Amino acid sequence: MRILFLTVDVEYSLRGIGAILKNLIRAAREDGHEVGLLTGIPYERAYGGNAELRDRIEHVHLQHYVIDGKKSFRVMLPGGYRRRNLYKFMLKGKFLKHAYMKVRPELLSGKRNLAHELDFIVRAPFIYRFIAKGNDRISRYVVGRICRAYSIDLVVAVSPTKLRSKDLGSHTKLATFIHDIMPVEMLETPAESDTPIRFARELETAIRHSDLLMANSTDTANKINALFPKAQVDVVYGVVSSAPSEITDSAILTVKNLQPNNYLLFAAMIEKRKNVEGLIDAYALAYDELRMPLVIVGAPGYGFEQLIDKYEALPQHIQNNVLFTGFVSEEDKFTLFKNARAFVFPSFYEGIGIPVIEAMSYGIPVLTTRTGALPEAAGNGAFYIENPYDVQEIAHGLIRITKDENLRKQLVSNGSSIHKDFTFSKFKQRVGKSLQRIDGDT
């Protein structure tokens, strides 16, 4: 099949969706399908000189696009990704135009990125602006034209959209991947945000008008079925990269003045639903018994400002032992996981909980909560907090997972094989079965 992948997040923030996108593309390609990505890259040539130089420049732009999203438009589109340019495109009818580009691997950089996994891209300027803003008629019309123009057999939306299978053409199917239904379950967005309503519309459209639904956990699939009992959802889970057999420690322990096996680790996007605020409160309560730093790894997300206010109100000796690293390199991440005393992840909500499985692959004890898909991910390999809103319970858990050697050994033993259910090989098998089924209907 010729498969076209799309996600609004490619222009905004790929985060966890980026890993799913890359793994879906890789799985489909290794199964012999031709895979491409819908992009908002302008179809007009950025360079009109020598043809080979033009191709090289366009491959450079492609790589900037899959890494930096719409930020890269400043060099590809005079004036950047601004509303004024959108209006110009609309007035001239250019927003309906698109172009196909075959990816030439020999023109890509040595450092692998999403572009290396692609056979082709489709360039349709501002297409994700229309999809993100709910301009249904335009986005359905343009994507339908693209599918017919380039003989697309399957469109895979890597998160819910308001695209419908019937708008893509008689020979094109639509598959949608659903990570969770968090926007309609939690107060994760500001009160003035329309995200819950917009997500509900996208979710219902995706479920009613997709030929294939995939989810990253049974928990998410069950929640979809509770809302739409007739929906058939294939659970494909996700991929956890196992800890390398030999890890050379980076310098981050020295830089941060950390001792091996003598700090607690949290690693994920720092946002409200991760309950980092509750973790810090619990850590402050338990500090006199813990006497080791809490290291918080991850980029700031929604609610980070509130968290910093909480942090700055802590006693100075607690502040001195709560370390925010921000985003770290893979080498630093390996080092921090490998040498942590325990991984602590008292999240309010997870669609699957990849960080806890990743921690288990490094052979360190894990503390998490019995909410969402976390018990499905961690099995009997984690120490569970029953109520993530109970700071006292979390504090007690931090002490136990740090001090109780029998518990620590049992958790490490139980968790040692759980990550094997989340390998790329198993993910590829699950995705392959789903694509086989829809391929037979195409």
Q: How far apart are CA 164 and CA 144, in angstroms?
A: 10
CATH of 252-422, one of 3.40.50.720, 3.40.50.2000, 3.40.1390.10, 3.40.120.10: 3.40.50.2000
Domain with CATH 3.40.50.2000 in the chain: 2-239+424-441, 252-422
pLDDT at 85 over 90: no
Quote the pLDDT of residue 221. Answer: 96
How much of the chain is helix, strand and coil, in % rounded to 5?
A: 50, 15, 35
pLDDT at 296 over 80: yes
pLDDT in tens, 212-232: 999 999 999 999 999 999 999
Cα-Cα end-to-end distance for the chain = 9
Name residue 322's beta-bridge partners. Answer: 294
Architecture of domain 2-239+424-441: 3-Layer(aba) Sandwich (3.40)
Quote the pLDDT of residue 323. Answer: 95
pLDDT in tens, 317-362: 999 999 999 988 888 999 999 999 999 999 999 999 999 999 999 9
171, 183 in Cβ contact below 8 A?
no
Quote the pLDDT of residue 331. Answer: 87
pTM to 2 decimal places: 0.89
101, 123 in Cβ contact below 8 A?
yes
Vertex 242: Cα angle to 410 and 223 (nearest 5): 80
**Mean pLDDT (whole number) for 236-255:** 81
Q: Where are the alpha helices (DSSP H) in 155-275?
A: 195-209, 218-227, 252-255
327, 243 in Cβ contact below 8 A?
no
- 88 pLDDT band (50/70/90 cuts)? low
Quote the pLDDT of residue 382. Answer: 96
- 110 pLDDT band (50/70/90 cuts)? confident
Higher pLDDT, 305 or 28: 28
